Structure 1
């Protein structure tokens, strides 16, 4: 099928994944994965993604990136995971200074020499799984908790709904994140996730909820309730095609690609 090839990258709090997609979404390469390094500064992430793209070993025309934080006009507004020296540790003010306001889309366009689109990872995953009918809510369970809202197929401005407090005063992001899952055990974590899904539904009033991310498979599908479904984690890559249809702006490629650091 004629059309641009897309390097789809899924940046997670525990892993970085990439594949090259055909215009119809077919994966032209095997999914390549690297562990997410910590502390993960912007410079470290750029180098890791450069290595990841090299390991894919296939040409591409443009780049789509799902990122575990809030992105506005290509810039980082917030990113819970990367503001910590390691998962579960306190926030580091130096990491906050490096990340908040960082022009990630522009930096990636310079690095790859290709047009780039960057969005929250839940937004990207949602682009691959929604039906385009009514209010649809996408929740991702991984190192933290992501969320995206679509109405009649239109991606709404990203909101960090998981930063809201519930239960014992923890945010949903923390209480249902991977670090707490290890602390409290599978059954308690599952109860928290179901409570969080109820809270999300009370806020958004969705017609359907899609649950993805690496920890979605640890839920019991029979206990999710109506109008909720688990979606495959690979959707975080496959949404890289639809992202070009749903995001209005892209970071243009530089006239001359910047040199790749080694």
Structure 2
């Protein structure tokens, strides 16, 4: 499994380097590990013992022997530790407890408005997280990390939301600090589209290292995976395609202060506004979906044009990033093929054949699960990184010394 967080290399040493080899879940003998690492078997044994003491690896079935005593094999104990994945939406909250392979063990959710503020929403996260840990009979030490996705821009270095337009009261709020006070583990926070890119890639495209996930709903944004790494950019706003200007706009104002931004022209509410101007009863993405399902010609044409507008921006992204897959998610995908057909029309006509000859443009396969799954993967990648494994092993040494 490729690590697409900021902890993707084998930058650790000792037990952590050994653990990175075992992360794939494939059992290996001590001899195999010693040969792969170029170390003495006795050295590998000491490092395995440290990881076993942490509960991260263990012996599995016996390996085939070439004579004499069979060799025991060591593998990742995916179920020994857990993480929490948290998906905070505009009007919903989902929390999942997963093991180190990303398997969901338990899940809970609530309908809650993000506009109620961080204290109210994060208190619900604490309550649901504690419920899931209690129901699964997990000790406090079994939880390794928490991953969170929020519907707004995030300063990745601090995990604080930065001027999120639909999250009043959240600007600069110390989300990691709030939850660390309750759970005492590392807390990773990212915007929802980056989180969804992680989830979609892990569930549907695990072998794809160059992917763009695009969410088109109330807003528009994208998460970019390039060379197996999630790209956040210098200030954490990589993929913010919703505020690129498109040519089909007619001076439509955007909440960012500019005009004719993609989000102001092609998002669900933007399409609804166009249909209202034609005399149709449309006020939201759900209304647009309803009208398309009812066979409204005006709605179909508006949705197709919105797809073209998104495709115009994505055609430039394809030339710049050269992904092999573009995944389209969000409520506008519920309009069926009309929306994605408009995207394909523009991308394939405006991009050189070399960049599109193997390109797939598809609807999200993970659907509403992408957010909570991605949040879990964010936590897992951090918890299993060389830095964190080294810290845990050093903690064992400190306990032994005291």
* TM-score over 0.5 for the pair: yes
Q: Secondary structure, in 3 states, of the residue corresponding to 1:29?
A: strand
Give the alignment of 1:1-262 within 5 angstroms.
1-30=78-107, 32-37=108-113, 39-54=115-130, 56=132, 57-58=135-136, 59=138, 61=143, 62-71=145-154, 72-73=156-157, 74-82=159-167, 95=168, 98-130=169-201, 131=205, 133=208, 135-157=210-232, 158=236, 159=238, 160-166=240-246, 167-168=248-249, 169-183=259-273, 184=275, 185-186=288-289, 187=299, 188-205=302-319, 206-207=322-323, 208-220=325-337, 223=341, 225=344, 227-231=360-364, 232-233=366-367, 234-244=369-379
Say which is worse superposed, 217-226 or 200-209, in terms of deviation: 217-226
Q: Which structure: larger Rg?
A: 2
Tell me the number of residue pairs that the alignment of Structure 1 and Structure 2 aligns: 236
Aligned to 2:394: none
Shift of 1:245: 6.0
1:51 to partner: Cα distance: 3.6
Q: 2:199, 2:370 within 8 Å by CA — same for their partners in 1?
A: yes
Contact kept? 1:12, 1:143, Cα under 8 Å: no
The Cα of 1:190 is off from its aligned counterpart by 4.7
Name the CA distance, whole Å, in 1 between partners of 2:309 and 2:127. Answer: 39
Q: Which runs of 5+ in 2 are unaligned?
A: 1-77, 250-258, 276-287, 290-298, 345-358, 392-402
Greater per-residue strand proportion:
1
CA distance in 2, matches of 1:66, 1:242: 11
Structure 2 Cα separation of the partners of residues 165 and 40 of structure 1:
32
Tell me the CA shift for residue 151 of structure 1: 0.9
In structure 2, relative to structure 1, the CA distance for the partners of 1:35 and 1:191 (3 Å cut) is farther
CA distance in 2, matches of 1:178, 1:109: 36
| Counterpart contact for 1:7–1:19, Cα < 8 Å | yes
- Structure 1 length-normalised TM: 0.75
Please list the CA deviations of residues 5-32 of structure 1 after superposition, one character each: whole Å capped at 9, or x if unmatched: 11111111232112111211111124x2
| Higher normalized contact order (CA 8 Å, seq sep 6+, divided by chain length) | 1
TM-score normalised per structure 2: 0.51
Structure 1: stretches of 5+ with no match in the other structure: 83-94, 253-262
